[in-house]
A and B are shown apart, each in its own frame.
Chain A
């Protein structure tokens, strides 16, 4: 089960260099034009098979990966947990080996446990792309966020980015912190004390600040990234009520006015209007939530292209 070119897998942002990240983003920019064409399809991955293996429900990410694969002319198969053999008692390893026996070129995997894509990568001959593993990473989300920021700010280096919300459970936050700090941005995180680990700053060497109050994080920021508050956490004593969360941490126009005048607002979705983000902020011209979704397809086309393309002979 040799893999001559390990970088075929996209397991996370943490192990990528700044140059590799920039390379993916540049490629994605060139792919973005394809979705505006009359014929939104190129023959690049004709004859390749992409399996979307989703152990956790997802509409946006799965659709985005599926569209990306189809616009590259790959054949796609979607497997979601309800219909898989895992509910019949098969182990993850056996599922992976069985899928592998059908010779897919790429497996896009989402799982509620951290490290599942890494385990698959060890046994599978296919390229593995992490579409979210537990609270660990969601690399394509961070890449599409970075692409959105780059399109609007023309750079990432030197920007101040606030990430607000449930940091501790967020793979989006982790991937974004890795990516943004590697590319030279300063990241400030804030949220309820129970949801922001104070030792988070050790995740990366520098350029990451844990703020005691949401205003400290937003103040002077170029980019405000709001994370989804997971409603099911309400009952697990992380915070008292959604209403209270909204009052103290929700992004309102008033809070946003503390950021730079031309600050942009991102949200990975699905958003809870009126809880972590006020409706008028979400619908304002500063909110780039739909741009994020648009660039998501381009980023995933680039990732699938790089994952399934030729094998580097020298690698």
Chain B
């Protein structure tokens, strides 16, 4: 996982030619520690850190009336202005694309970034996409079935570091 994140960090700075105007935005929950780690790696590579922020997309979900009990709302933290910045959205898994849609809608309510890119640790494959969304930076493509669940475990939440594929119960 560490090597994949290192590669993501160097691809991000290579494509964007450094950290100028670069703004990493982690999507809660697991995108947040991933964004922090990638930011640290970019700082090591470039000597200065990119801007960083957190999006909580709960209020922008398209399934609020069907998810059952109300999802817990957490805080969005975009301290620096996103206007004209190059935003890299960071999440653990890209599956249907709906989370990314919600994140982009929320982002646009905060301003008008110059570009928005997407980095994910795991891409479950294009055939699962329900919206026309693809990642610019991918840690690893893991082809999965719809009956499976993929779980990225991080020491910040899970005590272990692993990616597991489980049968949906």
Contacts and interface: CB of A to CB of B under 8 A. Distances in A.
A42 B55 CA distance: 13
Contacts of A42: 59-60, 106, 109
Interface residues of A, number: 24
Interface in B40-95: 56, 59-60, 64-70, 72-77
Contact of B68 (A31, A41, A306, A313): A313
A89 interface: no
B110 A38 contact: yes
B110 A30 contact: no
B143 interface: no
B68 A43 contact: no
Interface in A20-59: 27, 29-31, 33-34, 37-39, 41-44
Contacts of B69: 309-310, 312-313, 315
A305 interface: yes
B73 A43 contact: no
A310 B65 contact: yes
Residue in A41, A43, A312, A314 with the greatest tally of chain B CB atoms within 10 Å: A43
Q: How large is the interface on B (under 10, 10 to 19, 20 to 34, 35 or more residues)?
A: 20 to 34
Contacts, number: 52
Contact of A44 (B59, B72, B75, B111): B59
B73 A310 contact: no
Interface in B97-119: 105-106, 109-111
Contacts of A310: 64-70
A33 to B, nearest CB: 6
Contacts of B76: 33
A311 interface: yes
Given A43-B60, A310-B68, A311-B68, A38 B111 contact: yes
A30 B73 contact: yes
Interface of A: 27, 29-31, 33-34, 37-39, 41-44, 72, 302, 305-306, 309-315
Given A30-B74, A39-B110, A309 B56 contact: no
B72 A43 contact: no
Name the residue in A34, A37, A309, A315 with the highest tally of chain B Cβ atoms < 10 Å from its Cβ: A309
A186 to B, nearest CB: 30
Contacts of B73: 27, 30-31, 302, 305
Contacts of B72: 27
A105 to B, nearest CB: 10
Contact of B75 (A33, A311, A312): A33
A27 B110 CA distance: 21
A29 B77 CA distance: 13
A37 B110 contact: yes
Contacts of A72: 59
Contacts of A37: 109-110
21 contacts: A27-B72, A30-B56, A31-B73, A33-B75, A34-B59, A38-B110, A38-B111, A41-B109, A42-B60, A42-B106, A42-B109, A43-B59, A43-B60, A43-B105, A44-B64, A305-B70, A309-B65, A310-B66, A310-B69, A313-B68, A315-B69
Contacts of A41: 109
A175 B64 CA distance: 30
A293 to B, nearest CB: 21
A5 to B, nearest CB: 8
Given A30-B74, A309-B65, 14 more contacts: A27-B73, A30-B73, A33-B77, A37-B109, A38-B111, A42-B59, A43-B60, A44-B60, A72-B59, A305-B70, A310-B64, A310-B68, A312-B68, A314-B68
Contacts of A29: 75
A283 B144 CA distance: 62
A308 B74 CA distance: 18
A309 B72 CA distance: 11
Contacts of A306: 70
A308 to B, nearest CB: 9
A42 B106 CA distance: 8
Nearest to A302: B73
